[in-house]
Amino acid sequence: AEVAALLESSGLNCVRRTAEPKAEDADCDVALLDTIGELRAVYSLADIVFVGGSIAPVGGHNVLEPAASARCIVTGAHTSNFRAIVEGFLQQDALVQLPPVTVAEAPGILAQTFEELLTDDERRRRYGENARRTLEQNRGATERTVEMLAPLLMQRSEVRG
């Protein structure tokens, strides 16, 4: 409800996934998916993906799924839940991170950022390609971690007998 209100106060026509469908929904500016588990299926339809939970100090959500679809990713400043991932993406110029803003300032800075990105196809494409490349370069982290830890765990197991 809060995100929908922010979008509407910014002058954007928003349709919520959980709302009863109406004919005018076809002309909406923003489709707000307010359900769980559907985002992966629609990332490829987006020009820009805003990863929520990052405006207020909540910690942010995962940027990996939109990266897999090579989308231009925008986050707020509060990404502590995925700090290392976001920092890696920033180093590779693979996402746009907003400065710290208040909830009241957020609609204006989001609108400005989206306007800049929506008028620059090349920039959006570059962010998306960099995001996908960064994701691909870091695949296999779990396997590498297990390979490093396995000998240590074996030694510990042998010591315990």
pLDDT digits (tens, 9 = 90+) for 28-47: 888 888 777 888 888 988 99
**98: its two tokens:** 């907003």
* Mean pLDDT value of segment 142-158: 81
Choose the weakest-confidence range: 11-25, 81-95, 101-115: 11-25
Domain locations in the chain as residue ranges: 36-160
* Residue 95 banded pLDDT, cuts 50, 70, 90: very high
Contact 30, 5 (CB under 8 A): no
The pTM score is 0.76
Q: Is the pLDDT of residue 72 over 90?
A: yes
CA pair distance 141, 127, nearest whole angstrom: 22
Residue with token string 């010591």: 159
Cα–Cα separations (whole angstroms), residue 41 to 25, 36, 44, 145, 161: 19, 12, 7, 29, 49
Alpha-carbon distance of 97 to 94, in angstroms, equals 10
Bridge-partner residues for 96, per DSSP? 74
| Mean pLDDT (the chain, rounded) | 89
- Average pLDDT on 48-55 reads 93
Q: In the chain, where do the E strands start and end? A: 14-16, 30-32, 48-51, 72-75, 96-97
With respect to CATH, is domain 36-160 assigned 3.90.1150.10?
A: no
